[in-house]
Structure 1
Amino acid sequence: MNEKYRPQFHFTPARNWMNDPNGLLYYKGKYHLFFQHNPQANVWGNMSWGHAVSTDLYSWQELPVAINCTPTSGIFSGSAVVDYNNTSGLGTTENPPIVAIYTEHQNDESNQSQCLAYSVDEGLTFTKYEGNPVLDINLPNFRDPKVSWIDGQWIMTLALPQEFKISFYASPNLKEWTHLSDFGPAAEVGGIWECPDLFQLGDKWVLIVSLNPGGFQIGSGTQYFVGQWNSKEFIADDVQTRWIDYGRDNYAGVTFSNAPDNKRIFLGWMSNWDYAVKVPTDPWRSAMTIPRELSLQANTLVQIPIEKPGGFPEVSFTTSGGAIRIHETPERFAEIGVRNGKIYADTSNAWNEIAAPLVQEVPAPASEVDFRVIVDRGSIEVFAAGSTVCFTNLVLVDTSLHYVETIGEVNNLKLQQLYREQQG
């Protein structure tokens, strides 16, 4: 935990490369996080599913690689479900299987198809289904299945990346799939569409779509649509652009299956394809965001951090035209606040020579804005305006951001657990 830039409470693999979260689920008291992983190197490649478990979403135990690549194919993104009714026949009703649904990517880039692997030991080991693939339409780009139990059947939401479309399929048993409909193109189409997720919040349905490039400023970004699901198709209320995050570093996020108390918990990859391989960490590369519970307020997503046992290092305040600077040294700081009627985050003085947008700003929805800034080694996550405006940004300072300066009028300032770290 004393490695330079290693987060203290965001998930990171012990070693080597990580990108998209996969197969997020909760079962028998444990959250399971699978993730795109290169078991052999600190760069993208040899795509396999890494695996970690936690009881609180913050203290993670990394387990052996769950699903390994082959010499000719990679295990790309997907999801996992607990098949409680054993519709797949891959377990029993007494011991229901955990079924992973993933994209098998041919290394020669000739094809992507959807495959199953299953576990009957609560996710410790997986067996690839002998009848794979379960969905193959002979396309080189057709991926990222997110499967959910909706209206008495399995619904698969997956991406046609280069067509800027999301396809919906239905199945009674996870093995045989029928095409229902497509959604898109819509809103942002500046890059390929990936990593969709469909879920209900109150009386609305939300469709998450990541795209790369074409994000809010540069590289990777995640948009969402609000509408209805009628058991066959997603019908958006409108096709205006809505970003999950206005920072640089929140991509490919999806939600947990079966989370307790019907919570909709979102987790993203805290990086950006524009420079992910350049971030100077070793022997690991990449972290996940902190998990956030999602809700809807007037068709806008609200993201509330899942509380960490013992609390976060964080700063909270309100302002109508001031800001705070969270410092490591007098010269090294991140600045967050309101100016000219806009909420902004500025990491110009907490970065290095990697080319990246260092200031983000969006119109403030009210004259007085509340802020909550969660600080870890290597990142800041800003939740503003009732957590309807979020900025997630990596920072690169030698130790940690640990003391606060105010700029202009700042009210209700509260600091919690900010501390200087000794760097190993």
Structure 2
Amino acid sequence: MRMNFRRSTIIMIFIAWVLSFDTMAQVKEGIYNEKFRPQIHFSPPSKWMNDPNGLVYLDGEYHLFYQYNPNGNTWGPMHWGHAISKDLVYWQHLPIALYPDEHGMIFSGSAVYDENNTSGLGTAENPPLVAIFTYHDSEAKKSGEEDVQSQGIAFSTRGRSWTKFSQNPVLSNSGRPDFRDPKVIWVNNKWVMSIAVKDKIQFFSSPNLINWTFESDFNPEWANYEGVWKCPDLFPLTLPSGEEKWILLVSVISGGPQKGSATQYFIGDFDGKTFTTDLSQIRWLDYGADNYAGVTWSNIPDADGRRIFIGWMSNWYYAQKTPTSPWRSAMTLPRELKLIGTDKKFALKSSPIDELNKLRKTSQYKYGSVISLEEPLVELELVPELNDFSISFSNIKGEIVTLNKSGDDLSFDRSNSGKVDFQNGFGAVHHVALEGLDIYQVQIFLDNSSQEIFINGGQVTLTNLLFPNESYDKVTLQGFKDKFTLHYLSSIW
């Protein structure tokens, strides 16, 4: 069985290698004009993409790796696709970085800059980038085994070509069916790994990224457990007062606020071994249906100081059925995460990064309650005048999507937004309980197949896919101040 797996793996690697160069050629030929193709969001040239992986900054470049199936536009044998950017706005596609091997597929994980060469996989003069990822042994899974996931590493000097560690896996499994998605950070002169284990997060530590020691579990009884826990991310944030708190992101494959997958977060303290939280209720990073498995970039320079996040803009409830071809899926806009609040009433704020202002092609003030849109790529900045308000986008086919505030309820209605029949429930109306939040600003980014809404600069966010048969060309407002700002945006491709 192992020999057959090795043979099939070699064949898959060769096919993927050929396809990776083919997709780069397709970008040069300008294929990014298909119906529903995102123009201000990252998407692969073709085939299937899901979770962002290995987010790391080095030498002026942001690396974005991602779960990728080069053989089709539904989920399949997982590789790490790869792209780089100098500003998180415009992206350059690179060949596939990591391929399946005799240990299994390459599931989600992270990447770090081993500045002190603790791993010994580089040199003092050329410290390595180290990717930490989950192996998923599909052959063992078919045989009925449970401990099919383990953790491996690979290393690179510049992030262009990668060498897998010869003694993989570095962290074996001991009978756990879900043991996945390692996110690694340098804390208190050691490496700390957060890893999802079905319904908990486990923390491990290592001096060298190779030898790992178990530290603790985290699974408060009140958290969301409707879906398997995945894609953790542990990092510190500092309040304007100087107080530091630790954030733990945990994605769930189902049970999110709008059905299906989503990301919950916890705020607390971390002593290098144990995470404890100040919260006692579920908090969601995004209240739309389509922001999942997001994590943050490592090694961003201290001079910058931001914690920058990106998520997979889809939902496992219907991700493999969305009406797009030859690609499927996109990433959210990059966002800066900030900690706000006082007296232990803390919350995460998720704001579009400033670099996105580069996309503004023209900017103009608009007046009135009904305006025509001359182009499909739009950013709106609005100020509510009344406690209750609504904004709708519509087209000549009568398709419409509406954001409505009524009392303490904020709703998003995509039931007649365009193509909705590919999955029962896609066209549902989404509701968010505002819990007394006073809304003073609404910012909306509209792409060919998505809408991202930021309330009060990101105190509440809603990310949702849309598939209108014609571009929305009219905006209708109620309850907003008469004057607002409209930006037409340029494509990142």
Common fold by TM > 0.5: yes
Alpha-carbon deviations, 1:344-363, whole Å to 9, x = none?
22222214212225322223
Pairing partner for 2:265 from 202, 224, 248? 224
Alignment partners' CA distance in 1, 2:179 and 2:85: 31
Determine the structure 2 residue equivalent to 1:387.
Answer: 458
SS at match of 1:277: helix
Determine the structure 2 residue equivalent to 1:301.
Answer: 348
Determine the structure 2 residue equivalent to 1:133.
Answer: 169
Alignment identity in percent?
A: 47
Alpha-carbon deviations, 1:24-73, whole Å to 9, x = none?
01100010000000011111011010000011112111111100013761
1:245 alignment partner AA: D
Bigger shift: residues 402-411 or 213-222? 402-411
Query: Residues 383 and 480 of structure 2 are in contact (CA less than 8 Å); yes or no, is this contact kept in structure 1?
Result: no
Bigger shift: residues 354-363 or 210-219? 354-363
Distance 1:167 1:302, change over 3 A: same
Alignment partners' CA distance in 1, 2:463 and 2:489: 18
Determine the structure 2 residue equivalent to 1:94.
Answer: 125
1:62 matched to 2:93: yes
Alignment partners' CA distance in 2, 1:368 and 1:191: 31
Which stretches in structure 1 are left out of the alignment for 5+ residues?
none
TM-superposed deviation, 1:401? 2.9
1:137 alignment partner AA: N
Q: How does 1:102-141 map to 2 (within 5 A)?
A: 102-107=133-138, 108-109=140-141, 110=145, 111-120=148-157, 122-138=158-174, 139-141=176-178
1:157 matched to 2:198: no
TM-superposed deviation, 1:6? 0.6
TM-superposed deviation, 1:338? 1.3
SS at match of 1:417: strand
Determine the structure 1 residue equivalent to 2:4.
Answer: none
2:259 alignment partner AA: I
Alignment partners' CA distance in 1, 2:299 and 2:132: 16
Alignment partners' CA distance in 1, 2:437 and 2:217: 37
Q: How does 1:259-270 map to 2 (within 5 A)?
A: 259-260=300-301, 261-270=304-313
Distance 1:60 1:368, change over 3 A: closer
Q: How does 1:170-181 map to 2 (within 5 A)?
A: 170-181=205-216
Alpha-carbon deviations, 1:237-267, whole Å to 9, x = none?
0231000011000000000001241210010
TM-superposed deviation, 1:8? 0.5
- Number of residue pairs matched? 417
Alignment partners' CA distance in 2, 1:168 and 1:412: 51
Alpha-carbon deviations, 1:174-216, whole Å to 9, x = none?
0000111110044111110000000001111100000011111
Q: How does 1:184-333 map to 2 (within 5 A)?
A: 184-186=219-221, 187-202=223-238, 203-260=244-301, 261-298=304-341, 299-307=346-354, 308=356, 309-311=358-360, 313-319=378-384, 320-329=387-396, 331-333=398-400
Query: Residues 396 and 470 of structure 2 are in contact (CA less than 8 Å); yes or no, is this contact kept in structure 1?
Result: no
Query: Residues 345 and 361 of structure 1 are in contact (CA less than 8 Å); yes or no, is this contact kept in structure 2?
Result: yes
SS at match of 1:135: coil
SS at match of 1:262: coil
TM-score under structure 1 normalisation?
Answer: 0.94
TM-superposed deviation, 1:83? 0.7
Query: Residues 98 and 119 of structure 1 are in contact (CA less than 8 Å); yes or no, is this contact kept in structure 2?
Result: yes
Query: Residues 134 and 150 of structure 2 are in contact (CA less than 8 Å); yes or no, is this contact kept in structure 1?
Result: yes
TM-superposed deviation, 1:330? 5.9
SS at match of 1:287: coil
Query: Residues 378 and 487 of structure 2 are in contact (CA less than 8 Å); yes or no, is this contact kept in structure 1?
Result: yes
TM-score under structure 2 normalisation?
Answer: 0.82
Alignment partners' CA distance in 2, 1:146 and 1:224: 15
Distance 1:69 1:328, change over 3 A: farther
Name the structure with the higher strand share. 1
Alignment partners' CA distance in 1, 2:378 and 2:477: 17
SS at match of 1:381: strand
Larger Cα Rg: Structure 1 or Structure 2?
A: 2
Distance 1:14 1:71, change over 3 A: farther
Pairing partner for 1:350 from 414, 417, 422? 417
Alignment partners' CA distance in 2, 1:377 and 1:145: 33
Query: Residues 264 and 294 of structure 1 are in contact (CA less than 8 Å); yes or no, is this contact kept in structure 2?
Result: yes
Distance 1:71 1:152, change over 3 A: closer
TM-superposed deviation, 1:217? 2.3
Alignment partners' CA distance in 2, 1:278 and 1:183: 34
Distance 1:357 1:240, change over 3 A: farther
Bigger shift: residues 212-221 or 328-337? 328-337
Alpha-carbon deviations, 1:260-305, whole Å to 9, x = none?
4121001000000010000011110000000000001121111110
TM-superposed deviation, 1:4? 0.7
Determine the structure 2 residue equivalent to 1:360.
Answer: 430
Distance 1:218 1:125, change over 3 A: same
Query: What is the RMSD computed on CA atoms of the aligned residues?
Result: 1.7
Alpha-carbon deviations, 1:352-397, whole Å to 9, x = none?
2122253222233334442101111110000013411110000001
